[in-house]
Amino acid sequence: MAPLGGTMDIKENMEKMYYEALSTYLKDQNEQALYQGQKISRLNIKYNISPEEIISMHKNNLIELYPDLPEKVMDSFDFLLEVMMGYGIAYREHQSLRHQQQELKTEIEIAANVQHTLLETKIPDIKGLEIGAISVPARQMNGDYYHFVQDEYERIGVGIADVIGKGIPAALCMSMIKYAMDSLPEHRHEPNSVLESLNRVVEHNVDPSMFITMFYGLYDPHDKQFSYASAGHEPGFYYDAATGNFSDLDAKGLLLGVDKKTRYRQYEKTVNPGDMIILLSDGVTECRTNDGFIERETLIGFIQKNMHLQAQEIVNNIYKQLEKMQNFQLRDDFTLIILKSNV
Amino acid sequence: MEFQSCVKIINEWDIVAARQLGRNVAKELGFGTIDQARITTAISELARNIYLYAGQGSVSIEKLNINGKSGLKIIAEDQGPGIEDIRRVMEDGYTTSGGLGAGLPGAKRLMDDFDIESIPGEGTKIVATKWLR
């Protein structure tokens, strides 16, 4: 808020500007004076001057310029002033709501930072396996989540989850998954048992209208086995270097939070040198362009084009490509993970 | 108390009488046209609330002179249903979204001081003051 003296100066200056512009315009109706009027309008908004004050300013200036105007004309401005009162109130309300919106925005930004710190996960450094991961929220807060853990046998656990929905409710829900994951017993990283435990937590704690899909995989570098299970999650891809084929990483299983007794089936795959495991959220496949959703084949094409790069570069490039295809407007949270075997 | 005048609000025309009373007092005290319009608009809003939600009540206007400062005080009182959640009705966008005019936050902004007391089932009392600068 400007100090009182400052406000008075602004008002006085405004009166002067108004007087000059108005008298010029009334003398000969030129565009330059009207342009001046537009400037005054902007300044009035800047200094929170309400419509009723402008009408009063107009009336005062008019009396000064033309003292002999009929009294009825002058009285009409008092009527106009009364009519504009409602607009003045609406204008002030609008400003206050705008201020509140700004505050909310700041608050959400802080919340997004808190979430970011909360959900942070370290990509493990392991010989023979290159890992790239990217997760970008559609709005400020992310309803996707990915997580890496490495156990005492050097096995790498990778989880990717997606709350149905986006924004703050989805993000709040994700924080719970993170805590549930952290409190899983050290020795229980078998994908099916991880999903079964999380399913019980979600079923117990989350609003029945909220569902979470999740994929969990465990890679053992000693026998090169990748075991995985899925709770209704968007299937990823498996790239077989020997044949050059991409196949869907299919796994059947019910969403988390539907039924607390759900059992998950575990699948196994042997990872050969050059093979790739690609995990994603539906924000990747439901990326909508002008021609509709992108095809999984299109996505495979992008992966093939970037395959020679480092895993992190591959996911970064694909994100950039898809972001551009959607005119830089993500409709859903986007998460893409690539595990690339080097040995 | 040096001066107080009161208008009973029973029908819509009483809102006009309350406005008139407020404008006369505001003029006497030396308020300019803009402040006169602000005071009468606030009176209008408060009187309208009584008329619409309480059925009947009263609006009193008081001249104030405290430590050499003059002011005008509006007291709007009713024995209507009262307000359950004052915080909510004082929120911007709450009444206007229902298309009911400026509402209480609007009236509050037009005045310098604004105080509201309400007991559900017993009634509401709003006291608002504008100081002469």
pLDDT (mean) for B4-31 = 95
What does the block give as tokens for A89?
Answer: 């109130």
pLDDT (mean) for A299-304 = 91
Count of domains for chain B: 1
Please answer yes or no on whether B106 and A89 come within 8 Å at the CB atom: yes
**Which A residues in the span 86-115 are in contact with B, Cβ-Cβ below 8 Å?**
86, 89-90, 92-93, 96-97, 100
pLDDT (mean) for A248-271 = 93
Confidence of residue B85 (pLDDT cuts 50, 70, 90): confident
Is the predicted pLDDT of residue A299 greater than 70, yes or no? yes
* Higher-confidence position of A8 and A125: A125
**Chain B residue with the nearest C-alpha to that of A83:** B37
Please answer yes or no on whether A53 and B34 come within 8 Å at the CB atom: yes
> Testing the interface with B: which of A93, A94, A96 to mutate, by most B Cβ within 10 A?
A93
The interface predicted TM-score of the complex, written ipTM, equals 0.83
Is the predicted pLDDT of residue A15 greater than 70, yes or no? yes
Residue in B40, B92, B101 nearest the CB of A96? B92
Is the predicted pLDDT of residue B97 greater than 80, yes or no? no
Is the predicted pLDDT of residue A41 greater than 50, yes or no? yes
* Higher-confidence position of A116 and A26: A26
**Chain A residue with the nearest C-alpha to that of B45:** A86
Could you tell me the residue range of the domain that residue B9 belongs to? 4-131
Is the predicted pLDDT of residue B64 greater than 90, yes or no? yes
**Chain B residue with the nearest C-alpha to that of A100:** B92
CB pairs under 8 A between A and B: 43
* CB < 8 Å to B40, chain A: 82
Residue in B34, B109, B110 nearest the CB of A56? B34
Residue B87, domain CATH = 3.30.565.10
Confidence of residue A2 (pLDDT cuts 50, 70, 90): very low
Q: Phi/psi of residue A10, each to 5°?
A: -60, -45
Quick one: three-class SS letters along chain B? Answer: CCCEEEEEECCHHHHHHHHHHHHHHHHHHCCCHHHHHHHHHHHHHHHHHHHHHHCCEEEEEEEEEECCEEEEEEEEEECCCCCCCHHHHCCCCCCHHHCCCCHHHHHHHHCCEEEEEEECCCEEEEEEEEECC
**What is the model's pLDDT at position A116?**
86
Confidence of residue B96 (pLDDT cuts 50, 70, 90): very low
pLDDT in tens, A146-155: 999 988 888 9
**Which A residues in the span 35-74 are in contact with B, Cβ-Cβ below 8 Å?**
52-53, 56, 59
pLDDT (mean) for A53-79 = 94
**What is the model's pLDDT at position B2?**
57
**What is the model's pLDDT at position B44?**
94
Average pLDDT over chain A, rounded to whole?
Answer: 89
CA distance A299 to A319: 11
**Chain B residue with the nearest C-alpha to that of A82:** B37
Domains parsed from chain A with CATH numbers: 4-110 (1.10.1240.30), 121-341 (3.60.40.10)
**What is the model's pLDDT at position A166?**
67
pLDDT in tens, A92-140: 888 889 999 999 999 999 988 888 888 888 899 888 899 999 999 888 8
**Chain B residue with the nearest C-alpha to that of A89:** B106
